[in-house]
Amino acid sequence: MKVVFTMFLILMSGIGLKAQNKSKKVVNQVVVDFFDGLAELKEEKLKVNTTKDFLLLEDGMVWTVDSLTKGFDGMRKASIKRVNSFQFIKTDIKGNTAWVSYYNKATITRGDNNRVIEWLESAVLIREGKDWKINLMHSTPLKKKSVK
């Protein structure tokens, strides 16, 4: 009987860990989807991945979805392309709140010119119903060659 009970506990702990890892991947994907919205210049993609009171704190500036999207028309006209890549450091989930820390690297192309920008960022996400949404982001620009 002890063997059966022990096997049951081991099995259940594995299931819980698998579910938690899946939840972390879902949370991380919300961050990726948000930046896909920036790269694609799609306001709706930003809105669907953020809370109504979303804030981005970046290098001394405070941004909202509205202030982020104000420059989209100019960026479209200038044919600016952005490709993001991420290196997730840590993702924690407690109840309906998640915290994510990660490196973000963007390659921005305008005509023949490429520029690479790197940040160390964190995000706080809140579960609204079944969906995770970004409530707060903090972004620190890094000097070149900072990301491992």
Inform me whether the pLDDT recorded for 77 exceeds 90: no
Least confident of 18-22, 93-97, 102-106: 18-22
Does residue 146 form part of some domain? no
Given this model, what pLDDT does residue 75 score? 82
What is the band of 79 on the pLDDT scale with cuts at 50, 70, 90? Answer: confident
Q: How many CB atoms lie within 10 A of CB 66?
A: 11
Rounded mean pLDDT, 103-128: 96
Does residue 148 form part of some domain? no
Inform me whether the pLDDT recorded for 147 exceeds 70: no
* Structural domain for 16, as ranges: 2-141
Does residue 122 form part of some domain? yes
Given this model, what pLDDT does residue 57 score? 98
The pLDDT mean for the chain works out to 89
CATH (domain of 7): 3.10.450.50
Does residue 147 form part of some domain? no
Given this model, what pLDDT does residue 87 score? 98
Q: How many CB atoms lie within 10 A of CB 89?
A: 12
Given this model, what pLDDT does residue 131 score? 98
Q: How many CB atoms lie within 10 A of CB 41?
A: 18
Given this model, what pLDDT does residue 17 score? 47
Does residue 137 form part of some domain? yes
Q: pTM for the whole thing?
A: 0.82
Domain count, the chain: 1
3-state secondary structure the chain: CHHHHHHHHHHHHHHHHHHHHHHHHHHHHHHHHHHHHHHHCCHHHHHHCEEEEEEEEECCEEECHHHHHCCHHHHHHCCEEEEEEEEEEEEEEECCEEEEEEEEEEEEEECCEEEEEEEEEEEEEEEECCEEEEEEEEEEECCCCCCC
